[in-house]
Structure 1
Amino acid sequence: MTSALETEVQDAPRRPRKRASGGGLGRYILIRFLLIIPTIFILMTMVFFLMRITGDPLTAALGGRLTPAELAERSAAAGYDRPLIVQYLDYLGGVLRGDFGTTYTDNTPVSEVLTTYGAATFELVLYSLVVALLLGVPLGMIAARTRDRWPDAVLRIIAILGYATPVFFVGLLLKLVFSVGLGWLPVAGRLSTSGQITMSSILNPTPFYLLDALRLGNTELLRDVVEHAILPAVALGILTGGIFLRLVRTNMIGTLEMQYIESARSRGVAESRLTTRHGLRPALIPIITVMGMQIALMLGGAVLTETTFEWNGLGYMLAEYMKARDYVAVQGIVMMLAVIVAVSNFVVDVIAALIDPRVRY
């Protein structure tokens, strides 16, 4: 026999659950976008003060090349004799105006360095992501379908080796095999000498070699661009491809064990159709969510990859400026890489929210 309170509760109309609305998605995107600002500000502040632990950038770059009097004169002209907080406020003002300073080694505006070499790094990361997806997704599907059998074991070992092997070591092996040994692909650089000459004839060129080659419609130039990009992209893409392989395998195994998959299997649906049509999309969601972190990992690996293959991008120039102790250039490049990572994470989060509404809450 139920009490009066229980009867009242049972008879009370149930409130309908609030459905997720477009406002939830819009609020999520706005919050994620606004979080970019403090993230970049904190990174910029950290980079500025860390670059000055050993002294002012001018002394670090030109110390020993100039007399103490000349060094003091140039430091005063650059404003490095002022209090550090004043230098920091001036630097913030310059960044807001798009002025990141001028390099000391070659007297080039840092903004020009970023625009000139940033496109090369962007191209390399894009190529590497394509390689990682082409390797990780199909191999992860095969590993999931052959769970606990020898193909699965072999692919898991390959995945571990892929993301555990240093990227510069993979790059050297690829160069020894495919460039020095077989002679199939170029050893280094972004273009051959003849390709550079052809590229210089383009009116209003962009910093992207692949785009300019497509605009020109020159198949030889396009082949030259692709051939120079293969080995760096594979060396950097293997690193992320191993991670994608493990993610796809793990999530596809979980998906293939769900009830709706078992129901489809009992109706006689082919295993290949279950894998590609029903199991793949849920397995790709984790890849999208971690892709922002992988872009950050790729940018870190790009420094070693570009140095190994003499790929003239931000990573290569960062290593050169660090050797020259040009901390103004290093500061600008690190800032640009931080901005790329922050924006990439924002874009990835938005895509993940569009695919899977659960990430908004």
Structure 2
Amino acid sequence: MTIVDERTVGSTAAAKTGGGSGLGRYILVRFLLIIPTVFILVSLVFFLMRVVGDPITASVGGRLTEAQLAERLHAAGYDRPILVQYLEYLGQVFTGDFGRTITDNRAISEVLTTYGAATVELVFFALVVALVVGIPLGMLAGYLRDRWPDALLRILAILCYATPVFFAGLLLKLIFSVGLGWFPLGGRASTDVQLVLGRIQGSTGINIVDALRTGRWDLISDILMHAALPATALGLLTAGIFLRLVRTNLIGTLGMDYVDAARSRGVGELRLVRKHAYKPALIPIVTVMGMQIALMLGGAILTETTFEWRGLGFQLAQYLATRDFVAVQGIVAFLAVIVAVTNFVVDVIAALIDPRVRY
């Protein structure tokens, strides 16, 4: 007859329950952290924009008489105390109202929906480039540790991360568009392709998705050709980070006890990498994905301007040039919300993959 210790059973059950509650508690805490994160970012943007004065004076003050300027300021509420403006703006943001632009009097929510899809498409392509380039080269560098290919790949990773996005974009345009003529100079698609996509019922605004819905390879090919250079310029920035991260973690994983045990059984190094060290080395990629997407959103401003990719980054640069700080404030606040939500999703995925993240 087997005697089971009640304390053992209780501790086992508690451990199982604790694991589940630990994940739920972790998700709840991470979700609640979105609120103060967005609040701090939106507040910083608001007060930094107010350092230069009220938005109307900064944008069109030189083209209006004093009476007209005073009338515009009063109508927009910019003659009220700054604290009142701040509280009113917070209320608008948390209801999804980011205000209206000064230069063309468009609802900023309309600007976000019109140009946001283009930025999402560019970031997606850039993330694909970063993963396709960074992960295999990182695995190769870790596998060939301290050999000359490893040294070259580490130098490449530093160059990818250190090179400014706009400089990489201009260099790619000079070589592959102007010099070789392989890719278009800019834009999201050719004019005739844009016309075809514009006639699609229920268009998503994401060109590659709409082209795939038509099933026409000529449209898909044209979109991919236009996206190749901007996605590469933006993706190489993150590819350098992924390369170094995968290399470091692969080297660490290859030194673990279970890998040494497999090696002692005669398992080859290449098989060790494929079967034992590959997946653990990729876990940190998921944990830093949120930060890299935020980095890409920042880099998208320069990339879109360089390649005339008409997304939120391109529009943000235009509004900065005209000093339309209401539009700038609204777009930056929206991007802050996107970054916060993305980080939350990535944290949840990381917790599901690696239970150690929860504690």
TM over 0.5: yes
What letter corresponds to residue 170 of structure 2 in structure 1? L
d(CA) in 2 for partners of 1:305 and 1:277? 38
Structure 1 residue 209 corresponds to structure 2 residue 213:
no
- Alpha-carbon distance in 2 for matches of 1:277, 1:112: 49
Instruction: Tell me what 1:223 maps to.
Output: 221
Hey, what's the Cα distance between the residues in 2 that align with 1:350 and 1:50?
32
Structure 2 CA distance for aligned equivalents of residues 356 and 98 of structure 1: 34
User: Which residue is 1:103 aligned to?
Assistant: 101
Moved more, 118-127 or 93-102: 93-102
Counterpart AA for 1:56? D
Match in the other structure for 1:7: none
Letter of the 1:291 partner, please give it: M
Residue 4 of structure 2 corresponds to none
TM-fit CA distance, 1:271: 2.2
Residues 327-342 of structure 1 aligned to structure 2 (within 5 Å): 327-342=325-340
Q: Which residue of structure 2 lines up, in the alignment, with residue 285 of structure 1?
A: 283
The correspondence for 1:151, drawn from 140, 149, 152, is: 149
Equivalent position of 1:94 in the other structure: 92
SS at match of 1:286: helix
**Are 1:239 and 2:255 an aligned pair?**
no
SS in 2 for 1:64: helix
CA distance in 2, matches of 1:233, 1:111: 26
Match for residue 116 of structure 1? Answer: 114
Give the 3-state SS of the residue equivalent to 2:96 in structure 1. Answer: coil
Partner residue in 1 for 2:128: 130
Q: Report the equivalent of 1:6.
A: none
Partner of 1:167: 165
Q: Look up the equivalent residue of 1:206 and give its one-letter code.
A: T
Deviates further, 55-64 or 83-92: 83-92
For structure 1, the residue ranges without an aligned partner over 5 or more in a row are 1-12
Q: Which amino acid aligns with 2:357?
A: V
Q: Aligned partners of 1:294 and 1:203: how far apart in 2?
A: 34
Which amino acid counterpart does residue 329 of structure 1 have in structure 2?
A
Could you list the per-position Cα deviations for residues 11-69 of structure 1 after superposition, in whole angstroms to 9, with x for gaps in the alignment?
Answer: xx889475242111011001100110111011111111211112111111111111111
Q: Which residue of 2 aligns with 1:343?
A: 341
Kindly report structure 1 stretches of 4+ aligned residues shifted beyond 4 Å.
Answer: 13-18
SS in 2 for 1:98: coil
Q: CA deviation at 1:268?
A: 2.6
**Would you say 1:187 and 2:179 are equivalent positions?**
no
CA distance in 2, matches of 1:320, 1:54: 18
Matched, 1:76 2:93: no
From 269, 272, 275, the counterpart of 1:271: 269
CA distance in structure 2 between the partners assigned to 1:349 and 1:288 by the alignment: 8
- Quick one: distance in 2 between partners of 1:98 and 1:106? 20
User: Are 2:145 and 1:140 equivalent residues in the alignment?
Assistant: no
Q: CA deviation at 1:286?
A: 1.2
- Count residues with an aligned counterpart: 349
CA distance in 1, matches of 2:84, 2:148: 64
Aligned position for 2:3: none
Task: State the alpha-carbon separation in 1 of the partners of residues 248 and 92 from structure 2.
Answer: 47
| Residue 98 of structure 1: how far off its partner (Å) | 2.0
Look up the match of 1:31.
29
Counterpart of 1:259 in structure 2 is 257
Equivalent residue, structure 2, for 1:50: 48
Q: Identity of aligned pairs, percent? A: 68
Q: Measure how far apart 1:97 and its partner are.
A: 2.8
SS at match of 1:172: helix
**C-alpha separation between the residues in 2 aligned to 1:89 and 1:266?**
66
Which blocks of at least 5 consecutive residues in structure 2 are unaligned? 1-6
What is the CA–CA distance in structure 2 between the aligned matches of 1:132 and 1:276, rounded to whole Å? 20
Q: Matches of 1:62 and 1:290 in 2, distance apart?
A: 42
For residue 295 of structure 2, what is the aligned residue in structure 1?
A: 297
Distance in 2, matches of 1:98 and 1:183, equals: 44
How far did residue 273 of structure 1 move? 2.0
In 2: Cα distance, 1:208 partner to 1:360 partner:
35
Q: Distance in 2 between matches of 1:220 and 1:40?
A: 42
For 1:28, give the aligned amino acid. Y
**Cα distance in 2 for residues equivalent to 1:28 and 1:324:** 44
Separation in 2, partners of 1:156, 1:91: 46
The code of the aligned residue for 1:225 comes to I
In the alignment, does 2:178 pair up with 1:197? no
| Structure 2 residue identity aligned to 1:194 | D
What is the TM-score with the length of structure 2 in the denominator? 0.94
SS at match of 1:261: helix
